[in-house]
Amino acid sequence: MKAYLFIKGFLFDNIMEYQLTHSEENYLKEIFHLSGVDAFRVSTNNLAARLNSKASSITDMLQKLAEKELVSYVKYKGCNLTDKGEGIAVQIIRKHRLWETFLVMKLNFGWEEVHDIAEQLEHIDSTKLIDSLDHFLDYPKFDPHGDPIPDKDGKITYRKAKIKLSETVVNSLVEIVSVNEDSASLLTYLEKNNLVLGICIRIIEKYEFDKSMRIALENGNELNLSKKVIENIGVKFISKT
Amino acid sequence: MKAYLFIKGFLFDNIMEYQLTHSEENYLKEIFHLSGVDAFRVSTNNLAARLNSKASSITDMLQKLAEKELVSYVKYKGCNLTDKGEGIAVQIIRKHRLWETFLVMKLNFGWEEVHDIAEQLEHIDSTKLIDSLDHFLDYPKFDPHGDPIPDKDGKITYRKAKIKLSETVVNSLVEIVSVNEDSASLLTYLEKNNLVLGICIRIIEKYEFDKSMRIALENGNELNLSKKVIENIGVKFISKT
DNA sequence: ATTAATTTTTAGTCTTGTCTAAAAATATGT
DNA sequence: ACATATTTTTAGACAAGACTAAAAATTAAT
Ligand SMILES: [Mn+2]
Ligand SMILES: [Mn+2]
Ligand SMILES: [Mn+2]
Ligand SMILES: [Mn+2]
């Protein structure tokens, strides 16, 4: 069952002993994100788009990662993380989210400023560092965007019954529990409109013609939110009138 | 006076806009350290030894750094940092020492554990991050090994009248103000013997045959310290009996 | 002032990660 | 089923950063 690996003239009996490059780590992380909870197969073009890279570069790297038994790769059929690969991906995500939490909680960064810096910090290699940071932050469960932080052992506790705001029905009352962190400008927009974690909103009306939505905040303020916005907010159902 | 630079098809009118690689940053930092306060010329072989690299690799890189106007390099005559190069080197050292301070002060690392991690963290690129960290740590003046932390503008306030313990004379009373951070095992040894920053010691005797020294701690305990050890401790003179 | 030893540079090779262009496989539409 | 469109892979190139081996320059020793 043990896998042996011959790299650069050295024999490794455990992949963990071999340090991955930033690039390799980014591939694993992105495959994890694209696979979703059901571990879909990820296509070459998909990965290329997300990594701002070309399909041919992806193919090259997938072959290398398959060689190292971090992904299962079938020509023309896309790829999947192996258990090893997934384990590594989750640890990188743990580091990313803990660093984002540190930046917001301790250094007073805005939630729209932390992702790019965390993209660098997630590659720092020290288990003791990340576990100490986790302790220092008092073992946070979610990052500044509401995403769950994997624990030391890689266990991720997903939010139960989280749906997109765009999927809610008129008259329901919901609480914002996460936001998509991809765009800093969206995060700034959300904060300006007080659409932050923990806020409750009521869906007043949904418009079919452009898939937008009218909502009310707790203070009675009403807002129109575009399709793009409501697809990037995660909510928890509270009640319905 | 302005320098223009053509790199990878782009024209830069300010070197700072161009991101350096980790490798380039390590070269600049090491040249700074080897130059000393008097800005000696640094030889290729010296640099190769410190960077665990070969002389030929050094030559290649020096030519590249000279092209970017970060070092002044004269064939067969070694190199020197330009003002630009020195400015960058100092900022990397600032990051290194602030991160070391963070690890010791906030995450409770030992002083012998932090250097290797700081070697990674010093390359994180974010001015806002490092200035926030500086504030969070309350603008520390020295790192865990007693080395001065450059400020935001690159100003370094060196300790006045610091000498090596090996250079002191018998019967003087001195205070430990810095230790060489290069060897984790030396740091562990020093801590075990309570030879930490702020401690005062008296020189009892110096032995010519092996350049070792006998010293007394404040509690009366006496110790023999080897040449190697006393050359790696920086002290401040207090008094003489 | 020559010769010998040491240091530094050049020339050529390798690996990693990327790219473009062309070929091959797969998916789609009628 | 067959032609067309799309996706993916291969082939070949390049830049960065490192290495070895050999050549050139500098320094040290007689
Ligand atoms: Mn992020
Ligand atoms: Mn996040
Ligand atoms: Mn250090
Ligand atoms: Mn230090």
Contact of B138 with chain A, judged by CB distance below 8 Å, is answered with no
A72-109 pLDDT tens trace? 999 999 999 999 999 999 999 999 999 999 999 999 99
The residues, any chain, with a CB within 8 Å of residue B138's CB and separated by 6 or more, are: none
Q: Decide if pLDDT at A114 tops 90.
A: yes
pTM value is 0.92
Q: Decide if pLDDT at B13 tops 60.
A: no
Q: How far apart are CA B39 and CA A134, in angstroms?
A: 42
The spacing between the Cα labelled CA in B157 and the C1' in C16, in angstroms, equals: 41
What residue type is A70 in one-letter code? Answer: L
Q: Residue B36: which pLDDT band, with cuts at 50, 70 and 90?
A: confident
Nearest CA in chain A to B134: A107
Q: How many helices (H) and strands (E) in chain B? A: 8, 10
Gap from B133 CA to chain A (nearest CA, Å): 7
- Using the beta-carbon criterion (under 8 Å), do A109 and B132 form an inter-chain contact? yes
pLDDT attached to residue A4: 43
Q: Which residue has the higher pLDDT, B10 or A213?
A: A213
Per CATH, the number for A163-239 is: 2.30.30.90
What residue type is B37 in one-letter code? Answer: V
Q: Where are the domains of chain A?
A: 1-158, 163-239
Q: Strand A212-217 relative to strand A200-207: parallel, antiparallel, unpaired?
A: antiparallel
> What is the pLDDT of chain A when averaged over all its residues?
92
Strand D contact at CB of residue B54, distance < 7 A: yes
Nearest CA in chain A to B106: A136
Specify the nucleotide whose C1' lies closest to residue A61 (CA): C17
B176-186 pLDDT tens trace? 999 999 999 99
Range B1-158: architecture per CATH: Orthogonal Bundle (1.10)
Q: Residue A38: which pLDDT band, with cuts at 50, 70 and 90?
A: confident
Rg (CA), chain A: 20
CB-closest option in A117, A125, A136 to B129:
A117
CB-closest option in B108, B124, B133 to A107:
B133
pLDDT, average across residues B20-45: 94
Q: How far apart are CA B191 and CA B197, in angstroms?
A: 10
B106-128 pLDDT tens trace? 999 999 999 999 999 999 999 99
Specify the nucleotide whose C1' lies closest to residue A77 (CA): D8
Contact of A221 with chain B, judged by CB distance below 8 Å, is answered with no
Q: Decide if pLDDT at A36 tops 90.
A: no
Q: Decide if pLDDT at B165 tops 70.
A: yes
Q: Decide if pLDDT at B71 tops 70.
A: yes
Listed as ranges, the nucleotides of chain D within 7 A of a protein C-beta are: 7-12, 15-22, 25-26
C-alpha torsion A151→A100→A192→A165, nearest 10: -30
pLDDT attached to residue B17: 55
The answer to whether B47 and B41 have CB atoms below 8 angstroms apart is no
Contact of A132 with chain B, judged by CB distance below 8 Å, is answered with yes
Strand D contact at CB of residue A56, distance < 7 A: yes
pLDDT attached to residue A168: 97
Contact of B113 with chain A, judged by CB distance below 8 Å, is answered with yes
Domains B1-158 and B163-239 share a fold: no
Spell out the alpha helix ranges (H) of B82-168: 83-105, 114-121, 127-136
Question: CA angle, A13 as apex, A8 and A18 as ends, to 5°?
Answer: 50
Residue nearest to nucleotide C10 (CA to C1'): B56
Percent of chain B beyond pLDDT 70? Answer: 93
pLDDT, average across residues B212-222: 95
Gap from A13 CA to chain B (nearest CA, Å): 25
B140-159 pLDDT tens trace? 999 999 999 999 999 999 99
Q: Decide if pLDDT at A20 tops 80.
A: yes
A170-218 pLDDT tens trace? 999 999 999 999 999 999 999 999 999 999 999 999 999 999 999 999 9
The answer to whether B197 and B176 have CB atoms below 8 angstroms apart is yes
